[in-house]
Amino acid sequence: MSSATREHGYMPQLDALRFFAVMGVIVVHNWQPSPHTLIVGQVDWGELGVRLFFVLSGFLITGILIGGRELGERAPARRRLFFIRQFYIRRFLRIFPIYYAVLIALVLAGVGGIRQIWPWLFSYTTNIYVWHYLEFPYAVSHFWTLAVEEQFYLVWPLAMLFLPRRWLVPFLVSLCCLGPAWRLYASFHYSPNNWNTAFTFTLGVVDFLAIGAVLALAAHADRSKENLQRVLTLVVLPIGAVVYVTLFWVNRSVDHHVPLALEDTGAALVFCWLIGSASRGFAGPFGRLLEWRPIVYLGKISYGIYIFHLLVPLAFERAAEHLGVAYENSGFLNFITTSLVTFGVAALSWEVFESPINGLKRHFRYERATDVLPHGPVVTPPTQAISP
């Protein structure tokens, strides 16, 4: 990764990770490989993709907020409020327009009973609806993750900017424990038919976001990054890999799904290493793959890909009905076809709709500490922010 790229806070390898995360979700939803399909069918790539999204979100958003916190500590309190305003406006410009445009279109088209649950969708509480009623509305079943992200955006910036510094790590560690605890509770409290649905409640995934936030704090504290990378490689990665692989096989050998509560934590630790390493820049063939322009671009538009990936098969199904032909949203060929169409729709949405709106962020830039204190240290939030 070039030094210029690092200086401007943009990390293209993290965009590539977004792409691979969203592809994991598409594999499960639009391929639906048989459990007997080697590797592809045995691993729940959708769950892994969502977990990677959450850890990445916690890392990137916390990286931005660290700059705002340091600015607030070195400047008048009103500057911290200014930072919060800029943060929420920039998040609004990136997330809301395409989300609400798609929702309004679906409501007007009367797709899949969405009119009956629109208050949950419009208020970003879909995950609470899913947890409460233990059912997914198919066309927008993936929107529960966007609800979790938005709840994170609402709460975490206030905690990050206003909690005493000594409380931050204990607070995050408690969240890291709360996630597995909720998943254990859900495993015992809900039947095997709906325990996974109960995990969509915010507490069921809060540890992934917290692990990403801890990584960002550690990366900021370790200026050289060498010590952190050593810990990630020698401690975090082996522990995460052993926990995930062991519980992966245990979970598939017993009838109860209790091991999944910690299996997800193991995966999150592996992703912690992956994200930390990608933020520094992988070298060699893997690094070149993560910086290959088509993959980086698809990662940049991954938010649109995620939103549209279930709607494209729905459009295929509607078209097949009119043509009087059969259509089934499964199989490798369907996966390839729907993926390519989804990429095209997401690219069109980005170039025509999202990117011009996103460009308005230039009017709401974050301040640096030197903008307020001419002789103070530079505190510049990274320019890259998460798109779910």
3-state secondary structure 283-317: CHHHHHHHCCHHHHHHHHCHHHHHHHCCHHHHHHH
Range 107-114 contact pairs with CB under 8 angstroms and sequence separation of 24 or more: 111/139, 111/314, 112/137, 112/138, 112/139, 112/140, 112/314, 113/137, 114/139, 114/140
Cβ burial of 241 (10 Å; 0-12, 13-18, 19+) is middle
Q: Which domain holds residue 64?
A: 3-359
- Give domain status of residue 132, yes or no: yes
Question: Which token pair is 124?
Answer: 């970003």
Matching residue, tokens 């322009």: 293
- What backbone torsions phi and psi does residue 286 show, to the nearest 5 degrees? -65, -40
Any domain includes 103: yes
- The SS3 of residue 191 is coil
* pLDDT tens sequence for the chain (388 residues): 443 344 345 688 999 999 999 999 999 999 988 765 656 657 889 989 999 999 999 999 999 999 888 877 776 666 778 888 999 999 999 999 999 999 999 999 888 788 889 999 999 999 999 888 888 778 898 999 999 999 999 999 999 988 888 899 999 999 999 999 998 888 888 876 677 777 889 999 999 999 999 999 999 887 666 788 899 999 999 999 999 988 888 877 765 666 677 888 999 999 999 999 999 999 999 999 999 999 999 999 999 999 999 999 999 999 999 998 989 888 999 999 999 999 999 999 999 999 999 999 999 988 654 454 443 333 334 444 434 4
The CA distance from 198 to 68, in Å, is 35
Say which amino acid occupies 61: I
Q: What is the pLDDT of residue 119?
A: 93
Sign of CA dihedral 44, 47, 48, 50: positive
How high is the pLDDT of residue 3? Answer: 39
Asked whether residue 21 is domain-assigned, the answer is yes
CA distance 139 to 313: 9
Query: Cβ contacts of residue 254 below 8 Å, gap of 6+?
Result: none
- List CB contacts of 42: < 8 A, sequence separation 6 or more: 35, 252
Q: Specify the pLDDT at position 209.
A: 96
What distance in Å separates the CA atoms of residue 298 and residue 252, rounded to the nearest whole number?
A: 33
Residue 35, pLDDT score:
67
- Cα–Cα distance between 172 and 185 in angstroms, integer? 20
Q: State pTM to two decimals.
A: 0.90
d(CA 388, CA 57): 7
E strand residue ranges, the chain: none
Whole-number Å distance between alpha carbons of 282 and 275: 10
Domain contains 385 = no
Q: Is residue 364 part of a domain?
A: no
User: Per the domain annotation, does 200 fall within a domain?
Assistant: yes
Question: Domain total for the chain?
Answer: 1
The rounded distance, in Å, linking the Cα atoms of 166 and 171 is: 9
Query: How far apart (Å, rounded) are the C-alpha atoms in residues 98 and 100?
Result: 6
CA gap 104, 45 in Å, rounded: 30
Written as six digits, the tokens of 148 are 């979790």
Pick the closest to residue 164 from 285, 245, 82, 73 (CA basis): 73
- Distance from C-alpha of 386 to C-alpha of 74, rounded to nearest angstrom: 26
Per the domain annotation, does 365 fall within a domain? no
Tokens 């009905």 belong to residue: 321
> In sequence order, which residues have a C-beta less than 8 Å from that of residue 215 and are 6 or more positions away?
55, 58, 59, 272, 275, 276
Which amino acid makes up residue 105? Answer: A
**Burial degree of 278 (CB within 10 A; 0-12, 13-18, 19+):** buried
Radius of gyration of the chain (CA): 21
387 in a structural domain: no
Alpha carbon distance 349, 356 (integer Å): 10
